[in-house]
Amino acid sequence: VSGAHVPALVIGTGYGGSVAALRLAQAGVDVHMIEMGRAWDTPGSDGKIFCNTREPDYRSYWLRTRTKAPLNYFLGFPIDRDIPRYTGILDAEEFGGITVYQGRGVGGGSLVNGGMAVTPRRENFAAVLPSVNAAEMYDVYYPRANAGLGVGLIDPAWFDTTACYQYGRVGRKHAQRSGFPFVFVPDVYDWDYMKQEAAGTVPKSALAGEILYGNNHGKKSLQQTYLARARATGRVAVSPLHRVTSVAPAGGRYAVTIEQLDDTGGVTATKTVTADRVFFAAGSVGTSKLLVKLKATGVLPHLNDEVGKGWGDNGNVMCGRANHMWDATGSLQSAIPCCGIDNWAAGGAFAEVAPLPTGIETYASFYLSITRNPHRAQFSWNAAAGRVELNWQTAWKQPSIDMAKTIFDKINAKEGTIYRTDLFGVYKIWGDHLTYHPLGGAVLGRVTDGYGRLAGYPGLYVIDGALIPGNTTVNPFVTITALAERNIEKIIATDL
């Protein structure tokens, strides 16, 4: 309601926002969460809340009239299709040199992601968050995050036999034959449910190609974990299809301007509420865009010059390999990855063995690599265009490609195989145009203090992936969650 006052307002309902809401509510603070995406709690006319990767419909993309699939070609043919403009679940946000994929809706990235829940190796943590006490993180906050998210590991005996991970077993064989460490990757997917999918006793989700546009079953998104617990406190309200556009000082409080959106992204109302505390949890890109704009337009002029800096893509790069006919990867592929190749120490790359859940045999092995890419980009305000821009260059992916090649050139040489050239265009090997893992833009200890308090503005906090300076060495959401757990505990103990 316009004109209302709330003790704590949280912008965004992803990992950082959900942790903040739960812990504040448990401490007795009433919380209002503002989310620009949909609630994703009501089935469409087909009886399903989410659509499938094989038939993307109006629910698939955020305000686009054509799909923009991360893997946009198959056998050299473009696979994107026209869709009606709608407040769909996956945003393919285009900047000059990179497309940044993000989840839109109550649950943020947890709605669309693969659920891979990876804690970085402890020896790598000093490079991930240099100013944070590693012992505290590994003794307290990583375990708390893993428990809160419901992280589990595939049953290795089932992995060895089930048809839906034949592609994983081919990935393991090729990794091991070239001498690379093979690792299982934990996930928030309900592994018992997936076994039942394979047995044909429950409706299929991972085994029906559901991923990217939501999972109708099996995946524990934040709606089933942190947000469910937050709502159960009775102290947390969520407003979907509401977008924050401004946060301004107002007599010791903050005035927050919010636009209400309709199904196609049109603004139907503009509201202002006041809050004692505001938590920026709009994701690395969302939080950075807000802070850069608010500083440049004089609304929050005392934010320091580090705002918008230190952004990285977590070194994401994709590729496929063409296998021999005797290394078929299977026509049934679980959409949830469960294993990878860890060559971080030797070559700066951690490669997930990813599915190609097309429903047909492709003879392809597909990989998403996370690499130690050193490049960092900066967000800035373009006053003439009235928007925030990011100066990432496509050529900055070259170090990532070189690091991924430390794995796949060797495997190809050993197996006598070649790269697929038909997955990202016509004769294009590397998927170097995107990231799933935006990180940074409001880096911990630079834009904020050591716990996410925005310098110059008491009561304003950053509590999402914007705090992390560009790379987590593995998939990021466990680290985002654990850091949020650490920071909110301190904030509740000292600021409230």
Phi, psi of 21 (to 5 degrees): -60, -45
Q: Considering the candidates 352, 415, 433, 485, report the single residue annotated as catalytic.
A: 352
Options 110-118, 156-164, 271-279, 374-382: segment touching ligand FDA (CB under 6 A): 110-118
Q: Which of residues 118-147 bind ligand FDA (CB under 6 A)?
A: none
Options 8-16, 130-138, 384-392, 393-401: segment touching ligand FDA (CB under 6 A): 8-16
Options 21-29, 103-111, 149-157, 167-175: segment touching ligand FDA (CB under 6 A): 103-111
Options 112-120, 132-140, 171-179, 356-364: segment touching ligand FDA (CB under 6 A): 112-120
Upper half-sphere CA count for residue 446 (Cβ side, 13 Å): 17
Q: Does 104 bind ligand FDA (CB under 6 A)?
A: yes
Q: Does 22 bind ligand FDA (CB under 6 A)?
A: no
Q: How far apart are CA 434 and CA 100, in angstroms?
A: 6
Out of 60, 113, 371, 448, name the contact with ligand FDA by CB under 6 A.
Answer: 113
Q: How far is the CB of 110 from ligand FDA (least distance, A)?
A: 6
Q: How far apart are CA 316 and CA 99, in angstroms?
A: 11
Q: How far is the CB of 43 from ligand FDA (least distance, A)?
A: 20
Q: Does 189 bind ligand FDA (CB under 6 A)?
A: no
Which residues of 26-105 form beta strands (DSSP E)? 31-34, 73-74, 77-78, 90-94, 99-103
Q: Does 436 bind ligand FDA (CB under 6 A)?
A: yes
Residue 242 annotated among the catalytic residues of the structure: no
Nearest Cα to Cα of residue 63 among 88, 81, 44: 88
Cβ atoms of residues 104 and 241 within 8 Å = no
Q: Does 437 bind ligand FDA (CB under 6 A)?
A: yes
Closer CB to ligand FDA, 258 or 401, in the complex: 258
Options 35-43, 164-172, 213-221, 402-410: segment touching ligand FDA (CB under 6 A): 35-43
**What length does the chain have?**
496
- Let me know if 35 is exposed, middle or buried by CB neighbors in 10 A (0-12, 13-18, 19+): buried
DSSP annotation of 396 reads: G
Q: Does 102 bind ligand FDA (CB under 6 A)?
A: yes
Q: Does 112 bind ligand FDA (CB under 6 A)?
A: yes
Q: How far apart are CA 376 and CA 393, in angstroms?
A: 10
What separation in angstroms does the CA of 259 have from each of 1, 56, 417, 466? Answer: 12, 28, 53, 23
Do strands 349-354 and 236-239 pair parallel, antiparallel, or not at all (unpaired)? Answer: unpaired
Q: How far is the CB of 34 from ligand FDA (least distance, A)?
A: 5
Q: 94 in helix, strand or coil?
A: strand
Q: Does 433 bind ligand FDA (CB under 6 A)?
A: no
Q: Considering the candidates 32, 217, 433, 437, report the single residue annotated as catalytic.
A: 437
Other beta carbons less than 10 A from residue 296's beta carbon: 18
At 336, which amino acid appears? Answer: I
Cβ atoms of residues 411 and 175 within 8 Å = yes
Beta bridge partners of 446: none
Closer CB to ligand FDA, 211 or 327, in the complex: 211
DSSP annotation of 120 reads: P
Q: Does 59 bind ligand FDA (CB under 6 A)?
A: no
x/- track of binding to ligand FDA for residues 463-492 (CB under 6 A): -xx---------xxx--x------------
Q: Does 188 bind ligand FDA (CB under 6 A)?
A: no
Q: Does 336 bind ligand FDA (CB under 6 A)?
A: no
Number of residues binding to ligand FDA, judged by CB under 6 A: 39
Residue 437 annotated among the catalytic residues of the structure: yes
Q: How far apart are CA 496 and CA 492, in angstroms?
A: 5
Cβ atoms of residues 481 and 489 within 8 Å = no
Closer CB to ligand FDA, 36 or 207, in the complex: 36
Where along the sequence are the contacts to ligand FDA (CB under 6 A)?
11-16, 34-37, 101-105, 108-109, 112-116, 212, 243-244, 281-284, 286, 290, 436-437, 464-465, 475-477, 480
Show which residues are catalytic.
Answer: 352, 437
